[in-house]
Amino acid sequence: MSTTSNHKRRISAVAILGLAASVAATGTGLAATTPPSTVHATAATAAAAPTRSFQGTLPAPTGPYAAGEDVIHLTDASRPDPWVPSSGPRQLTVTMVYPAVPGTGTPAPYMTLAEAAGVIQHRKMPASSGVTPQNLSGVTTHAFDGARPRSGKHPLVVLSPAYEDPRMVLTSLATDLASHGYVVALVGHTYEDSGETLANGQTPPCAICDDPALDFDSVAASRALDVSFVIDRLTHGNTAWRLAHLIDKHEIGMAGHSLGGAAAATTMIADPRVRAGVNMDGTFHPAPRPGQINRPFLMLGAAVNHAPGGDDYTVWEQAWAALGGYKKWLTVAGADHFSFSDLDLLGEEAGFPTPPLSPERGVVITREYVTAFFDQTLKGIHSPLLDGPSPNNPEVIFQS
């Protein structure tokens, strides 16, 4: 096992829009595992290339409902910020995505201009990439601000992104879950990514991304505190969201990508309200011990990482043995680390190289299997998709 590449893969989103390998001479993830001469040469080529125009569009959700969207800001007065204590209490920005009536509301931006500028600065994207704060924030999301909610109670699914990635890169999954009858809380973990716009209008950059001694067990544990606080505010008393009445507080799940997947397991250990969890292509920090998670859990990852021989296989094998409830371990042939987020798709739309698995298939597979898992575990709707290999999804391999 390669210690360096495994460490990078488990903790880090390799590149916003899949671009770091192509345009960054420094940084984490693929850029760090690509020979420096190649990175510099590619960056120079990109800088000399004519400026292209980027227009990003996420796939439309597949369920019967539209996806409504609200952005809320929460402050945990009981907890100083773990990364920048001088900033005061922990502040979080959360995107709520919910089942809505089609044809209501106005198109929601992908992110704020300041968040988009943070992405471009953090990933050192050259102007020649054609990605600007305006067109990145304007990616078509198929979510609608102020849309009229669908009546009734719906399970809550909390989503946590990869380390260094803002919450918005899980938007295609969030909108699809909402279209199938879930309320989704997409949590931005302040100071852990390229920037989340807070209630005061500031968008602070990452405070921990350049720390070579960062303890990722501690980051996952901190995220578990973030998530439990968000659940508290959404389900108790005088809630922080105007549509909190839509949430069935007895049916809560969590899914995360990369470090966010590790945080899903850590949160389940700490908070029994989370009844089902999904780790999408993330190393566990740490791996659960027997008896800690006896509720449903899905491990969904790239075959190159999490099938026998993959860098992360041993850790996943250890976690699998410890899980005590309903569980599935699925790997996806041809996928890379970003097949489970919006990043490969947006990278393709920006003209950058893609993995063997088409980005469109990555989105489809992620949506279908995560939704099927939560349908089965939170709604009690059996999904044959989880019973075994499917001819419609030949890329998906059942490891156990």
Alpha-carbon distance of 20 to 13, in angstroms, equals 10
pLDDT at 51: 55
Alpha-carbon distance of 43 to 36, in angstroms, equals 10
Are residues 347 and 128 in contact, defined by beta-carbon separation less than 8 angstroms?
A: no
pLDDT at 394: 97
| Cβ atoms within 10 Å, residue 86 | 6
Q: Determine phi and psi for 98, rounding to 5 degrees.
A: -145, 160
pTM flag (> 0.75): yes
Q: Count the alpha carbons within 13 Å of 225 in the hemisphere toward its beta carbon.
A: 17
Per-residue pLDDT of the chain (400 residues; tens, 9 = 90+): 333 334 344 334 334 454 433 333 222 232 222 233 333 333 444 444 445 688 999 999 999 999 999 999 999 999 999 999 999 999 999 999 999 999 999 999 999 999 999 999 998 888 888 999 999 999 999 999 999 999 999 999 999 999 999 999 999 999 999 999 999 999 999 999 999 999 999 999 999 998 999 999 999 999 999 999 999 999 997 779 999 999 999 999 999 999 999 999 999 999 999 999 999 999 999 999 999 999 999 999 999 999 999 999 999 999 999 999 999 999 999 999 999 999 999 999 998 899 999 999 999 999 999 999 999 999 999 999 999 999 999 999 999 7
pLDDT at 53: 80
In three-state form (DSSP H/G/I as H, E/B as E, the rest C), the secondary structure along the chain is CCHHHHHHHHHECCCHHHCHHHHCCCCCCHHHHCCHHHHHHHHHHHHHCCCCCCCCECCCCCCCCEEEEEEEEEEEEEEECCCCHHHCEEEEEEEEEEEECCCCCEECCCCCHHHHHHHHHHCCCCHHHCCCHHHHHCCECCEEECCCECCCCEEEEEEECCEECCHHHHHHHHHHHHHCCCEEEEEECCCCECCCCCCCCCCCCCCCCCCCCCCHHHHHHHHHHHHHHHHHHHHCCCCCCCCHHHEEEEEEEEEEECHHHHHHHHHHHHCCCEEEEEEECCCCCCCCCCCCCCCCEEEEEEHHHHCCCCCCHHHHHHHHHHCCCCEEEEEECCCCHHHHCCHHHHHHHCCCCCCCCCHHHHHHHHHHHHHHHHHHHHCCCCCHHHCCCCCCCCCEEECC
Pairing mode of beta strands 66-80, 89-100:
antiparallel
* Residue corresponding to tokens 């495994």: 6
pLDDT at 128: 84
